[in-house]
Amino acid sequence: MKARVTVTLKTGVLDPQGKAIEGALKSLGVEGIGAVRQGKVFDLEIADMDRAAAEAAIKAACEKLLANTVVENYRIDIA
Amino acid sequence: MKAAVIVFPGSNRERDIAYALELTSGQKPALVWHGDRDLPAGTDLVVLPGGFSYGDYLRCGAIAARATIMDAVRAHAARGGLVLGVCNGFQILCEAGLLPGVLMRNAQLKFIARNVHLKVERSDTPFTRRYNAGAVIEVPVAHGEGNFIADAETVAKLEGEGRVIFRYCDAAGQVTAGANVNGATNAIAGIVSENRRVLGMMPHPENHVDPAIGSTDGRGLFESLAEALQTA
């Protein structure tokens, strides 16, 4: 089983890296892109277990390490 | 004073901290490896030094905050033991949940390595008793992620409880937007825990302790700790 965890900054948290990328896109002349927010993607290989157990394990990984829930949200997608 | 300086892979300021502690207390601190389970018996001060623990992978301080020794550091803090985290050490304390908030990328996106002025907000803590409240000291910063952020409620709590100990300011002690080197909320450079026994700060007082460097403005912090632990 494989899973993907997407970590993004919470709304309202300033993202200077995203702003810099936004500025770079503008200077490249790429049209039509408004705000940019940068995040992280983690691809996880999950050991054989049922889906509920896998979800619980990945949630624990997110809460304990992958995301800093003070400023970040996470989303889990199990393939 | 019986200090323990924790060394993580990628720490690089542990010797500067050890030098400052020995200079001001006369006692050599123990250097404790992150993989150890226990602090040396009788440890009364734990210092998390600056550097780039684990190469700043994932988030600054995130991996170090989950190191084996951190359970002992948490237990030490829970007993009311003194803990000082400088720079990466501050980031580790936030990631470990020993201090609130998080240190984000500097607002200007640049790594900043230069001297800054700090306003010492209060002198009634074990870390600042040798300073006068309102004093302005000059110490260096060297960080890319020092922009202190917390939710509005946490910031209000920190301010309301007088837990902001250091603030970026200009040479005259004015807290101006221009003096806020990294864009930190309310120009916060250092905060303490609720019981005022855990201090995290981005600037490096340990680098301004020896007259040979040209400034001893940081010395007061280590003298404060030495004095607090002597009379304890």
Tell me the CATH number at A66.
3.30.1280.10
- Do B104 and A17 count as a contact with CB atoms less than 8 A apart? no
The reported pLDDT for the residue numbered B70 is: 98
Q: How many C-alpha atoms does A55 have within 13 Å on its Cβ side? A: 6
In sequence order, the β-bridge partners of residue B141 are: B114
φ and ψ at residue B158, rounded to 5 degrees: -60, -45
| Widest distance between CA atoms in chain B | 46
Residue ranges and CATH numbers for the domains of chain B are 3-231 (3.40.50.880)
Is B109 within 8 Å of chain A by CB? yes
- Do A68 and B101 count as a contact with CB atoms less than 8 A apart? no
Residue B107 with chain A: CB contacts under 8 Å = 14, 16
CA distance A48 to chain B (A): 26
Chain CA centroid to CA B231, Å: 22
Nearest chain A residue to B106, by CA: A16
Q: Reply yes or no on whether B204 is catalytic.
A: yes
Residue-level pLDDT, tens digit, chain B, 232 residues: 999 999 999 999 999 999 999 999 999 999 999 999 999 999 999 999 999 999 999 999 999 999 999 999 999 999 999 999 999 999 999 999 999 999 999 998 899 999 999 999 999 999 999 999 999 999 999 999 999 999 999 999 999 999 999 999 999 999 999 999 999 999 999 999 999 999 999 999 999 999 999 999 999 999 999 999 986 5
CA distances from A75 to A38, A58, A69, B73 (A): 15, 10, 12, 31
- Nearest residue to B60 (alpha-carbon basis) of B190, B166, B202: B202
Indicate the number of domains in chain A: 1
Q: Please give the structure tokens belonging to residue B159.
A: 């301010």
CA distances from A46 to A54, A57, A67 (A): 7, 9, 18
Is B56 within 8 Å of chain A by CB? no
